[in-house]
Amino acid sequence: MLVRPARVEDGVGLSHLLDVLGYPCPAEEAAQRLLDVRDDPNQTVLVAEQGGQLAGLVCCDLSYYLPLGAFTCRITALSVAENAQRRGIGRLLLKEAESLARSAGAVRIELTSAAHREDAHAFYRACGYGEGAVRFVKRLGDA
């Protein structure tokens, strides 16, 4: 299993992994989204590759959090291909994200998960994550 930064050529695999997560988009759009963040030093997109195929993806956003007076890392996406689930890939990607966050000086790492994803919640708890705040969302556009 190879964990590496995502590349624009990964568009098809990224598209599939975003679809698994519930955010379908065409391969060209997935590649463009990667282009949109690749030069931002606070954004990291890592993929797990196995046998030349993308098996997983984790996206991290590092930001300064004024209330804490420190940097935090937010996992904005974690997805594992259906045929690769329950093989340790999600756990591996979380560990990579945590390592990246620590290296960047983040004091906390967080993520959100849709309320209906109970299996994912159990997975995050098993990886040492606890429930935090309640999240409120107001849509401001089409995305």
Question: Which domains, and CATH codes, for the chain?
Answer: 2-126 (3.40.630.30)
pLDDT at site 143 = 66
**DSSP characters over 96-140:** HHHHHHHHTT-SEEEE---TT-HHHHHHHHHTT----PPP-----
> How many helical (H) and strand (E) elements, i.e. helices and strands, does the chain have?
4, 5
For the stretch 94-141, pLDDT in tens is: 999 999 999 999 999 999 998 899 999 999 999 999 988 788 889 998
pTM tops 0.75: yes
Distance CA 121, CA 127 (A): 10
23-51 average pLDDT score: 95
